[in-house]
Amino acid sequence: MDPDLWLIALTAVAALWGAVAGALLPRPAYRFAVDEDSPWQTTCPSGHPLTGPARGWLGRARCPAPTPATATAPGPATTILDSTAPLDSTPSATAPPALTPPAPTPCTYGPSTRTLAPLTSLVCATLALATGVRPELGVWLVLAPLGVLLVLIDLKVQRLPDPLTLPFAGLALLLLGGAALLPEHAGEWRTAALGALTLGGAYFLLFLIRPLALGFGDVKLAVGLGAVLGWYGWGALYVGTFAGALVGSVWTVVQAVRGRAARRQLVALGPFMIAGAYLGLLLEAYAA
């Protein structure tokens, strides 16, 4: 089969995978968007418990319609007699029939599936185009939806929860170790592991120096991103880290010009770190 046709088919499959994975993100994006005092949301905005197979962790963020309250069935009109009127007089009034309450509507919450599905599909498709038919592409397609989910949560509540950052780092190292055993891979697991230690250690030092500038969740995220970028070498690690800092700086300047940046305002670093790693990964995967 022609290599170009293979790439087209692979990109289409990656786009389809991204669309399906993105459609599953609204519910976890809502459930993990909580303060540090709570591990995750247990109820929807209307108070319905988010438990059971129909209301678990993945899928569209929508609760079924609540059971309507018992309503009085409308009956025949009731004639009201005026006790002061003569017996042969006409009734004074007629009571209106009971009204049926409107049917309750389902509770929809969280990010829109119509937005997340195309976004995740685009991310996966571009990764496929840049990486080509190489085993590490499977790793990128597994991690990409998780990265989109982390961006959504950090933008919402400025938090990167451990149940997502730690599996992200573990999966990156484990799956890249498997990719290194397959033929035609274009990276090295050794530099991926060293990249995880280097970037994670650098962010840990920044956390010790300026704990108010970044959270410990950023440190844990840096471990996973360091592994992803380190797979293609030290140049990729530098490019991805610099790209993240550049994107964050541009955003801060734009916010300051628009008058929306407040002094000492906390900024979610996770989206910029992930965006930089994504751009660096695209460049280095294409050049590999």
Pick the range with the lowest mean pLDDT from 35-44, 61-70, 167-176. Answer: 61-70
Q: Are strands 62-63 and 107-108 parallel, antiparallel or unpaired?
A: antiparallel
The alpha carbon dihedral of 174, 135, 121, 155 has a sign of positive
pLDDT of residue 275: 95
Q: How confident is the model over 222-265, as pLDDT tens digits?
A: 999 999 999 999 999 999 999 999 988 888 888 778 776 555 55
Work out the percent of the chain whose per-residue pLDDT is above 90: 48
| pTM of the predicted structure, to 2 decimals | 0.80
pLDDT of residue 105: 55
pLDDT of residue 210: 85
Amino acid at 78: T
pLDDT of residue 70: 40
Give domain limits for the chain: 135-287
Query: What are the phi and psi torsion angles at 230 (to 5°)?
Result: -65, -20
pLDDT above 70 (res 34): yes
pLDDT of residue 79: 47
pLDDT of residue 250: 85
Mean pLDDT of the chain: 81
pLDDT above 90 (res 277): yes
- Residue 265 to residues 253, 258, 262: CA-CA distances in angstroms? 13, 15, 5
Q: What pairs with residue 231 in β-bridges?
A: none
Measured distance CA(112)–CA(193) in Å, rounded: 36
Helices (H) and strands (E) in the chain, counts: 9, 4
pLDDT of residue 272: 94
Which comes out higher in pLDDT, residue 1 or 270?
Answer: 270
For the ranges 57-71, 73-87, 93-107, 135-149, the maximum mean pLDDT occurs at: 135-149
Radius of gyration of the chain (CA): 28
Query: What are the phi and psi torsion angles at 94 (to 5°)?
Result: -130, 125
pLDDT above 60 (res 271): yes
